[in-house]
Amino acid sequence: MSNAPLFSGEGFSIGLAPMAGFTDRAMRTLSLEQGACLAMTEVVNAAGLTHDSKRTFHLLETAKDEHPVAAHMYGIEPAVMAEAARRAEALGRFDFIDINSGCPVRKIVAKGAGAALMGDVPRLAAIVRAIREAVSLPVTVKTRIGLTPETCNIRELAAAVEDAGASCLFIHGRFACNKHSGPVDWELIGSIKQERSMPIWGNGSARTGVEAVQLQKTYGVDGVLIGRGAIGNPWIFREARAAWEGRESAPRSLDEMRATVEAHLRDLVGLKSLERKYRRAGALAAETAAVMVLRPHLLKYVGGLPGWREVRRQLNDMRTIDDVLLAVDSVISNVKSGAGRD
């Protein structure tokens, strides 16, 4: 597979950023259907893959013909990461392997993985080399601009992973210590793009498709990843494609919103049904577990429409597909009857 169409910014280049607890098969599928140019799995423990953990492999579930998608993984040992990448490639589902070196979650950082790898650039470079030797797929890195403002070493990191053979670097423009708050340094991301030969993508702060396209064009990066802006809003990618092509995006209809909520939820039920095969007997029913995963998406799906606050009040009591669709139908009925926004 050529790197150019996927990473180099030749054409529309707005993708879905990986997010733990969100970017499962259901969310990725909807995002790709609405125009995202690529997506990544939730972050996967490389050691779990090498130990044949069914719970870990479950995070690599993909839909039929779901492309382009990356196996997004974390770890600290080059040999373990390489073996995990080899096993992911053997599934035949993925278009590239992405290394996480930006996750600020404490339990991952405490192991020396995720964002902690920014403090050990030689190890990160060794991981890139090891995976490149183990697989034929492109190898990319997802990182941040530094652990803290006092340790902003993104230039050193970018040079090291490029020398190690990375096909692309995805940069979230915040420091790991700030997690998802505070300003995003797009000026710095843009300057890294000017200094490096490999493709550089930016991530952070894009709340609309129009904003994502503007960021790509303003800072000259090869692409932009959208994260939280896509929660409960796969149409953000449709909007971005329209903005890229200089036209107005078709607004979502109420019927489309309802159908999307239902498709999202039913896919989640399927995923949770698979998950129950290796969970303990006391685990939640698949339908209930799926509804719980959908909750933050659902609030975004109906947010701002008449009656959405009532949906929020009912959220913790929802247990079934019917519960969710009844709430959505109530919101739609309010809109059609001309009820005011709340």
- Which residues are marked as active site? 103
Q: Which residues 6+ apart lie within 8 Å of 259 measured at CB?
A: none
DSSP E strands in the chain: the ranges are 14-16, 39-40, 44-45, 69-74, 96-101, 139-146, 168-175, 200-203, 223-226
The residue type at 192: I
Residues in the chain: 342
Burial class (CB in 10 A: 0-12, 13-18, 19+), 255: exposed
Do residues 224 and 206 lie in contact, with contact meaning Cβ atoms separated by under 8 Å? yes
Q: What is the DSSP string of 86-154?
A: HHHHHTT--SEEEEEE----HHHHTTT-GGGGGG-HHHHHHHHHHHHHH-SS-EEEEEEEESSGGG--H
Encoded tokens for 198: 């490999």
The rounded distance, in Å, linking the Cα atoms of 63 and 25 is 6
Q: If you ran DSSP here, which 8-state letter would residue 249 be given?
A: P
Do residues 124 and 160 lie in contact, with contact meaning Cβ atoms separated by under 8 Å? yes
Q: How far apart are the first and last CA of the chain?
A: 49
